[in-house]
Structure 1
Amino acid sequence: MTETMELVIHRDRSPVGAQRDARLAKSTPLARSRRRVFWWFVAPAAVLYLVLMVIPSIQTLWISLNRWGGAGPMEFVGFENYRRIFADPVFMISFRNTLLILFVVGGLTFLISFVLMLVLRDLRGRRFIRAVIFFPTIVPGVVLSIVWGFLFQHEGLLNTVLRSVGVTAPPEWLSENSLFLVIMLGLVWINTGFYATILLASVDRIPPYLFEEAALAGANAYQRLRHIILPLTWDVIGVAAVLWTVSSIKIFEFIYAFAGGAGYLPSTQVWNTAVYSYAEAFSAQGVPKYGTSAATAIIMLLLVGVLVGLSRRIFKHETIEY
């Protein structure tokens, strides 16, 4: 009996025995029943993803290779649409603006969010303040554009404050030269609350005893930030960076509504690639160019893929257990 038990234990510990045991475990009625239940739950989501994401993406790629005005047969032109948009100075302006939003607005947003996280971490009433700064995230972009435009109008709140402190000739914030700067500031205002909330939630999960031990060891604020907060929130910062990368490239409604409300939407100086793609497909002037619009969307998709891959490599680190 003892020899038989030793033989079974020896077989279980061998690689071949482990593989055989794994195959036997997968072939049991319980395992087959679990797989069926798993696929019943996954199938609806997979079908929706296929219908709403994969098939439209393939159709967009095909349209980008054709010249098409939305009606009638398509004319296959290969990569002509891509060559045309890269030769279009309007697209290059919109692409530059997209990169400015991605890096400049993103940098300011994360910097302010990180400072808010450090300030609000131990502040009393931080839940109320968190709700206040998160509020712009849940308000529609069109409403935010109206509020932001009211602040920066010539007779708006900002210029009224400037006149009250002695500035007799406040600047024209909504001029064509400064409109995109105002848009970027508005995007910082809208997104800061969302990312500050994410960072605050990541700090809240850090056990308090780590900060207590660091204080007893004489660690200053910078050392606590470097050796506790950053390592234990690095994965969350990485996720937030990926979310910002995806959302920043497809920002549309705030720019479209704000520039349109200011009367400068025809000016291509404030367009980003999302607005450019929309204008190519639904412009009231001339024949709609669905081919170039789809090509712009494919370029945006490729840009998101490359930047998300880089973000994952930059923020990759070993899992820290605590």
Structure 2
Amino acid sequence: MTAADTLRPEPPGSASARRRSTSARRRSTTARRRPAAPGPGETRHSPLTARRKKLFWPLLLPATLVYVVFFAGPSLFTLWLSLNKWAGAGPMSFTGLDNYRRLFQDPTFRHSFTNTLWIIFGAGGLTFLVSFGLTMVLREMQGRKAARSILFFPNIVPSVVIAILWGFLFQQGGLVDSVTKATGLPSPNWLGQGNLFKVIMIGLVWTSTGFYTTILMAAVDQIPPELYEDCDLAGANTLQKFRHVTLPLMWDVVGMCAVLWTISAVKVFEFIYAFAGAAGQMPDTGVWNTALYTYGEAFASGGVPRYGSAAASAVVMLALVGVLVVLIRRFMRRDSVQY
């Protein structure tokens, strides 16, 4: 074929001309169907995204209303109430920060606040120490599922029932008193004022250990067994396995448990009230924590209720929880470990 043949126009009815005409029509049809590209600053949403945007507020509004009515609203009212003097009836009188000043000048509140810190750090430290020990034992134990169920049992029983049982165990002539006398050890008055708060802390450790052991064991079950086999080949003992393998790989779960313990420890009420209190009477102020102090201020058995002071104590509890949770999250922050 010569150059002249190449440049010569094809007849309109030729096969190649028909193919080019068909391709041109297809390209024009595709161009008409294809949506125009969004201009600068424009975002094109798919129909699914549009439907999601329409359903956003109808689905979110009920949860928002529940949150505002049952949490945000009462919290803001408590904050406002802490700045007033109110006996539960009649008008409020604005007092500013007088409730907070009186609160920290009250020796009962200071002692209650100290007891709360003892529960958070003292009972919490013992709870996690025992939970870590049980985690090391249960990991290599046959029948650990049954053991976990037994350890978790105190969390199923209501706190009031556990408190009554705890009182029977430590009363004069009870099981603990009988065992100490049988072994020749001195048997103190466990329910006396000098030992009552210690017994309460031991009870809180006993009732909480199974719960946190169960959570930690769920994290341990996710650790590949090959890592422990490598430790066995290296001659590592149980404590070294826990320090170098178990604890680093469940560190995030430990941080979550620390936050849960902090929140629950500040709110401890039923166990102390039922264990140390008499029928219709508050326990002795020596075993009060901030939760019992708040209850005593708001629902005093004698005298005029002080709802403003009770609200101020509740705000202090909320601030304590917030500060401790932030500190725990910062202290427990680490890079995630891949395994």
Which residue of structure 2 lines up, in the alignment, with residue 9 of structure 1? none
1:121 aligns with 2:139: yes
Q: Identify the match of residue 50 of structure 2 among 29, 32, 40.
A: 32
Q: Identify the match of residue 171 of structure 1 among 188, 200, 213.
A: 188
CA shift in 2, pair 1:297/1:101, >3 Å: same
Which residue of structure 1 lines up, in the alignment, with residue 206 of structure 2? 189
Which residue of structure 1 lines up, in the alignment, with residue 33 of structure 2? none
The CA distance in 1 between the partners of 2:236 and 2:150, in whole Å, is 32
The CA distance in 1 between the partners of 2:287 and 2:152, in whole Å, is 26
The CA distance in 1 between the partners of 2:211 and 2:278, in whole Å, is 25
**2:87 alignment partner, SS class:** coil
The CA distance in 1 between the partners of 2:283 and 2:141, in whole Å, is 46
Write the mapping of 1:45-84 to structure 2, written as runs, cut at 5 A. 45-84=63-102
CA offsets 1:260-283 (integer angstroms, 9 cap, x no match): 149984421000000000000001
Residue 318 of structure 1: how far off its partner (Å)? 1.1
Structure 1 gaps of 5+ residues are 1-16
Which residue of structure 2 lines up, in the alignment, with residue 297 of structure 1? 314
The CA distance in 1 between the partners of 2:308 and 2:275, in whole Å, is 27
1:150 aligns with 2:168: yes
CA shift in 2, pair 1:39/1:234, >3 Å: farther
**Percent of aligned positions with the same letter in both sequences?**
55
Q: Identify the match of residue 332 of structure 2 among 312, 315, 321.
A: 315
Q: Identify the match of residue 229 of structure 1 among 231, 237, 246.
A: 246
**1:24 alignment partner, SS class:** coil
Residue 112 of structure 1: how far off its partner (Å)? 0.1
CA shift in 2, pair 1:35/1:207, >3 Å: farther
Contact kept in structure 2, 1:176 and 1:264, CA below 8 Å: no
Which residue of structure 2 lines up, in the alignment, with residue 7 of structure 1? none
Task: Indicate the structure with greater helix content.
Answer: 1
Contact kept in structure 1, 2:259 and 2:325, CA below 8 Å: yes
Contact kept in structure 1, 2:277 and 2:284, CA below 8 Å: no
Contact kept in structure 2, 1:94 and 1:273, CA below 8 Å: yes
The CA distance in 2 between the partners of 1:182 and 1:88, in whole Å, is 25
**1:113 alignment partner, SS class:** helix
Residue 221 of structure 1: how far off its partner (Å)? 3.4
Residue 145 of structure 1: how far off its partner (Å)? 0.5
1:99 aligns with 2:117: yes
The CA distance in 2 between the partners of 1:145 and 1:219, in whole Å, is 42
The normalised TM-score by structure 2 is 0.84
The CA distance in 2 between the partners of 1:189 and 1:205, in whole Å, is 26
CA offsets 1:149-174 (integer angstroms, 9 cap, x no match): 0010011111112232345x621100
The CA distance in 1 between the partners of 2:234 and 2:142, in whole Å, is 25
CA offsets 1:101-149 (integer angstroms, 9 cap, x no match): 0000000000000100110012111111101111111211110000000
Structure 2 gaps of 5+ residues are 1-36
- Tell me which moved more, 35-44 or 310-319: 35-44
The CA distance in 1 between the partners of 2:96 and 2:280, in whole Å, is 37
The CA distance in 2 between the partners of 1:31 and 1:195, in whole Å, is 42
Residue 49 of structure 1: how far off its partner (Å)? 1.4
Residue 299 of structure 2 aligns with an amino acid whose one-letter code is F
The CA distance in 2 between the partners of 1:54 and 1:213, in whole Å, is 51
1:258 aligns with 2:278: no
The CA distance in 2 between the partners of 1:251 and 1:142, in whole Å, is 12
